[in-house]
Chains A and B, each alone.
Chain A
Amino acid sequence: AQTVTQSQPEMSVQEAETVTLSCTYDTSESDYYLFWYKQPPSRQMILVIRQEAYKQQNATENRFSVNFQKAAKSFSLKISDSQLGDAAMYFCAYRSFNNDMRFGAGTRLTVKP
């Protein structure tokens, strides 16, 4: 079974600075999808960014970008120009081609004003 590992239980960043959240995964598949979700205190899960494994180009969404290293099975999230509203739990997720979905344990991000 696929596993997703987030090795940083907590991270902190100064407002307007850049922070990178780490994620690694284990799989024997070649086709899959990777996601970063944000969960603020409201508990509502929000999709931040997604990456198809067959695409070499790293996905970007405004201030959010990923560093996808397929050979290393690494999928880190970079948040640029951090804002107070970015404070939340961030979950890395792996989705196999047949819809099997696995989440990491999460990283709690604190943004300091």
Chain B
Amino acid sequence: GAGVSQSPSNKVTEKGKDVELRCDPISGHTALYWYRQRLGQGLEFLIYFQGNSAPDKSGLPSDRFSAERTGESVSTLTIQRTQQEDSAVYLCASSQRLAGGSYEQYFGPGTRLTVT
């Protein structure tokens, strides 16, 4: 079956503009995560959705960042008034269970965001 997909694969935007990144998880996966990966660094947790529960937004770095998810399908990560420090690869992952269990996260290919 299809894996996690993300679009666009690359995005170049001017400082101050808003951007929207999209993630399509694997069908049936109830949990969805967003991460940020700066060049040469590890993954920084941003937000996750689990089923119909309220999302855990504890990793969002500022109020310029927000994310939504429609049911158990598509998610969008929005960055308003982009800054140069927002330049990074944004990775999305989905997994099969709400909580507990060692079900692995399946990652998308990421969106490389460049803010000029």
Contact = CB atoms under 8 A, between A and B. Distances in A.
Nearest to B95: A99
Contact of A103 (B43, B102, B104): B43
A52 B102 contact: yes
Given A45-B107, A101-B105, A91 B43 contact: yes
Contacts of A100: 45, 56
Interface string A28-47: 00000101000000111101
Contacts of B50: 99
Contact of A44 (B41, B95, B105, B109): B109
Query: Which of B43, B89, B110 gathers the greatest number of chain A CB atoms within 10 Å?
Result: B43
Query: What's the interface size class on B, roughly?
Result: 20 to 34
B107 A91 contact: no
Interface string A4-47: 00100000000000000000000000000101000000111101
A99 B98 contact: yes
Nearest to B110: A43
Contact of A106 (B41, B89, B95, B105): B41
Given A43-B89, A44-B109, A45-B91, A99 B102 contact: no
Interface in B8-47: 31, 33, 35, 41-45
B102 A43 contact: no
A106 B99 contact: no
Contacts of A45: 91, 93, 105, 107
B33 A104 contact: no
Nearest to B41: A105
Contacts of B65: none
B105 A97 contact: no
B79 to A, nearest CB: 19
Interface in B66-92: 89, 91
10 contacts: A45-B107, A47-B104, A50-B104, A51-B102, A98-B99, A99-B50, A99-B56, A99-B95, A103-B42, A103-B44
Given A45-B91, A99-B31, A101-B48, 4 more contacts: A6-B42, A44-B107, A45-B93, A99-B98
